[in-house]
Homo-oligomer: A and B are copies of this chain.
């Protein structure tokens, strides 16, 4: 059994290549009966349709959309927020019969896959900044999520306003506030920001959130002391636990913890409870993202819910649409027992 190509199949079925092609791609170009006959004959032969690589070369589109994660696959895969986003993406992609190519934001060559995909959905600024330049130059469609690229459509929430509201909801005028921030500076370990230069000031959601927190604090004339602002490189338990422990050891001890992710907030609460600190009496905590685990935890967490699966669906729709205007998605502040 030699290679099954459109041409070879056409010959064995005794019809023209165009007819086979039409049977698969343009049902309106031939009678239902013939189409049925051809399709079943192909299935019989083991021919599953035109070669996608050739099709892609010919038509210029492959039906594959690349999602560029901000970091490595392993990291993303362990982050409930990212995976919820991916869930929405795959769901919406499926509706359009499109496929997903996951790509790591820490890889070097975007062009290794660039010719195979119809475009890019970029979830967070890629860790490897060289990718940003390549994306900027790409002739294909690029949609950014949680950050912006000049001239490209984007999907975001209003991080500054959301952070502001969440902070306003927990802070009182006599509070001591500490912030557990995510990816604020260019360091791969957990540490106080102090005077380290803030990273990538413009587009980072972390800085927009920080702005929001500080706006709320300013309204109470509270100032954020440098050692009360911590940088956490990744939203995971180990990093967060260390940061929480450090911050809770400060004197005076913070009475409010503003956390840039729910995972961080949960770790911080665990740590606080273990130290015998009462929540919310002695310490109020607010998170960001909205993950289900916070509802099962006791005390339940006050947080900004951003419905990442909906965001994923919206991202795909924005990617597919011709509209290039930036899109702001709704979020919701949900108060729990932690404030």
Contacts and interface: CB of A to CB of B under 8 A. Distances in A.
Interface residues of A, number: 40
A102 interface: yes
A80 B104 CA distance: 18
A133 to B, nearest CB: 11
Contact of A115 (B51, B112, B113): B51
Q: How many copies of the polypeptide does the oligomer hold?
A: 2
B111 A48 contact: yes
A116 B86 contact: no
A113 B99 contact: yes
A53 interface: yes
A328 interface: no
A276 interface: no
A111 B78 CA distance: 29
Contacts of A77: 73, 76-80, 82-83, 86
A90 B104 contact: yes
Looking at chain A's contact residues, the main secondary structure is helix
Nearest to A238: B296
Interface in A63-96: 63-64, 72-74, 76-80, 82-84, 86-87, 90, 94
B115 A63 contact: no
B87 A102 contact: no
A115 B78 contact: no
A101 interface: yes
A74 B52 contact: no
Contacts of A53: 53, 56-57, 62, 115-116
A229 B90 CA distance: 35
Contacts of A100: 73, 102
A56 B55 CA distance: 12
Contacts of A115: 51-54
A87 B74 contact: yes
Contacts of A57: 51, 53-54, 57
A83 B87 contact: no
A137 interface: yes
A90 to B, nearest CB: 6
B83 A74 contact: yes
27 contacts: A46-B137, A48-B114, A52-B111, A52-B112, A52-B115, A53-B56, A53-B57, A54-B115, A57-B57, A62-B116, A63-B112, A64-B112, A64-B116, A72-B87, A73-B77, A73-B83, A73-B100, A74-B84, A76-B83, A77-B77, A77-B80, A77-B83, A78-B80, A78-B83, A99-B113, A100-B102, A101-B101
